[in-house]
Amino acid sequence: MVNIAVLGYGTVGSGVVEVIQTNQEIVNKRAGQEVNIKYVLDLREFEGDPIQKILVHDYDTILNDKDVKVVVEVMGGVEPAHTFVKQALENGKSVCTSNKEMVAKYGAELIQIAEDNNVNFLYEASVGGGIPIIRPLTSSLTCDDITEVSGILNGTTNYILTKMRDEGAAFADVLREAQEKGYAERNPEADIEGYDACRKIAILTSLVCGQQVDYEDVHTEGITKITEKDFLYAKALKGSIKLLGTYQRMDGKAYVMVAPMIVSEKHPLYHVDGVFNAIFVHGNMLDDAMFYGRGAGKLPTASAVVSDVVDEVKHMGKNIMQIWEPGKLELGNFDEWKHKFLVRIQSADIDDVDMEDVKEAFGDVLYIKAPGVENETAFVTTPIEEGKFREAIQKFSGVLNTVRVGF
């Protein structure tokens, strides 16, 4: 029998307990021995809940119990989670977590501490909830040269964008509805400004490149500027707008960003709607693959956490090698990354926009019309460097919005 402790009895923590108790026989069989929850750590009391009898309020109780071999961190936030995890690893306990903030900031450090102490630090649930993506990248695709990872990594924003597209609704109205349904937090900033997706693509890029990616270096844009009219133009281009976290390697340099993009109906990510997430991977041997599923939620996320518990029980006394070095990965110059852009300019008539000025700034462009949209001129540029586009667009007045056109 292997004893484990669960840090935090919130949504995911209670889900971990439920998954193990509901599928106890399956978990035991796949782990090779019984998995027993000895402690649950939380500051609150849970009178009437069977968990009350194993509830503790002092982390030292878990840390000093040599019978506890695996610690499940599902508290969230960077501190005290990081300190608790570090102490557990240094005391010879394996740790698994769903904490994307902590993994994005301290992943390389914690992996190294685990290796030094011959234990394991696993984090499958930190990206994509219940979607298996960490393990495929670290185990299944180890012979591939991965040159792209692009994903819809946040269910809240994907839900909002899907509703805006399908119902022609305004961003603020859909956000309010998402909050009422529990799909969006009361303070939705981390989701709608792209910060959540940023941490996740930083983790995936760190794994693919084998070095620490500082998420603060990742160019990040949210969805707050996207309007119903942007979707009409996307439809005219046979696409839809998705908030993507993207890593691409070009000319030996890693480029990473989070931003709304118009995705072609021919691309697999186009069909990912609602609260679902998906991660698209391209390798030189694999070619294209996509991992799809529920990117959040109590049981899907808990399922991924428990899969790490099983893996750690199976590897007691043996560290699972992971290539994620502490040295910081220097990203390619974002200003040199080339994209096509949809540009919308307010105008009573197309003649109000000087086509010669447009050509001088952007070269040949594709002018497009969207049914039902009046008093504006829109066009799509050819691929242009980010820095040059930013400089060129300053020359035009009345710019309503710009959206990258990719895939």
pLDDT in tens, 132-172: 999 999 988 889 999 999 999 999 999 999 999 999 999 99
Q: How far apart are CA 12 and CA 301, in angstroms?
A: 7
CB 280 within 8 A of CB 266: no
Cα 78 from chain centroid (whole Å): 17
pLDDT in the model for residue 123: 97
Q: Which residue has the tokens 């041997």?
A: 285
Cβ-based neighbour number of residue 39 at 10 Å: 19
Residue among 221, 231, 119 at smallest CA distance from 170? 231
Q: Which residue has the tokens 């021995």?
A: 33
Catalytic residue, chosen from 100, 200, 242, 340, is 200
Q: How far apart are CA 3 and CA 310, in angstroms?
A: 12
Residue among 252, 244, 215 at smallest CA distance from 332? 252
pLDDT in the model for residue 351: 65
Q: How far apart are CA 237 and CA 275, in angstroms?
A: 24
Task: Tell me the β-bridge partners of 287.
Answer: 283
pLDDT in the model for residue 218: 97
pLDDT band of 225, cuts 50, 70, 90: very high
Q: Which residue has the tokens 């990742």?
A: 218
Reply yes or no on whether the pLDDT at 6 is more than 80. Answer: yes
Could you tell me whether strands 276-283 and 287-294 are parallel, antiparallel, or unpaired per DSSP bridges? antiparallel
Reply yes or no on whether the pLDDT at 234 is more than 70. Answer: yes
pLDDT in the model for residue 161: 97
Return the SS3 of 149: strand
Mean pLDDT, rounded, of the chain: 95
pLDDT, mean of residues 270-281 = 96
CB 7 within 8 A of CB 74: yes
Cβ-based neighbour number of residue 382 at 10 Å: 12
Could you report the per-residue pLDDT of 310-351, keeping only the tens digit for each?
999 999 999 999 999 988 999 999 999 999 999 999 986 666
Which residue did the predictor score with more confidence, 268 or 181? 268
Q: How far apart are CA 83 and CA 69, in angstroms?
A: 17
What's the pTM value of the predicted model, to 2 decimals? 0.94
Which residue did the predictor score with more confidence, 390 or 326? 390
Per DSSP, the residues of 76-113 read -SSTTHHHHHHHHHHTT-EEEE--HHHHHHHHHHHHHH
Reply yes or no on whether the pLDDT at 211 is more than 90. Answer: yes
pLDDT in the model for residue 112: 97
pLDDT band of 247, cuts 50, 70, 90: very high
pLDDT, mean of residues 379-403 = 96
Task: Tell me the β-bridge partners of 340.
Answer: 405
Residue among 150, 133, 145 at smallest CA distance from 404? 150
Residue among 328, 320, 324, 329 at smallest CA distance from 122? 320
Two tokens, residue 212: 């620490």
User: What domains sit in the chain, N to C, each tagged with a CATH number?
Assistant: 2-128+298-320 (3.40.50.720), 135-293 (3.30.360.10), 334-406 (3.30.70.1150)
Does residue 200 carry a catalytic annotation? yes
Could you report the per-residue pLDDT of 101-115, keeping only the tens digit for each?
999 999 999 999 999
Cα 300 from chain centroid (whole Å): 15
Q: How far apart are CA 337 and CA 383, in angstroms?
A: 9
